[in-house]
Amino acid sequence: MSKFEDNMEDIFDIEVTAEKAEIVAPEENQDADKDYEYTRGELYRLISKGQEAVEGALEVAQESGHPRAYEVAVNAMKQVSDMTDKLIDLQQKMKNLNKEESKKGPTSVTNNAIFLGSTADLQKMLKRGKVEEE
């Protein structure tokens, strides 16, 4: 155990236990949807753990009344808030990625058409267009 963990145990009168986290590295060939689901799941897990940490830190702060304990609780709240922002950013990035994939090619719109020719040519062309439409 580190000196920091020993001090935290003494200050907060708690026992620190180490949990081994299993890290699953995604394969390079996985598509964006699987990566999105993996990242989303991890963010949900981290937010949940962060909320538990905030509740514990607030309880310790209220019992001890120590300013540093309140500072730790506020910092934990900020971290959880940042993770929820990252979750929303992930949603936006995924929507943008899906939009890019759904584009099938360039679409062109002609706003300003210019006719190059004489007025007589224009009248002949318009006359042919009317005759063809009728």
Query: In this predicted structure, what is the pLDDT of residue 21?
Result: 60
With bands split at pLDDT 50, 70 and 90, how would you rate the model's confidence at 34? confident
Average confidence (pLDDT) over 10-33: 64
Task: Provide the whole-model pTM.
Answer: 0.51
Query: In this predicted structure, what is the pLDDT of residue 71?
Result: 92
The fold for domain 3-133 equals Helix Hairpins (1.10.287)
Do the Cβ atoms of 50 and 80 come closer than 8 Å?
yes
Do the Cβ atoms of 8 and 14 come closer than 8 Å?
yes
Do the Cβ atoms of 77 and 54 come closer than 8 Å?
yes
Mean pLDDT of all residues in the chain?
A: 79
Query: Sign of the C-alpha dihedral, residues 106, 111, 116, 122?
Result: positive
Retrieve residue 89's tokens: 């950013």
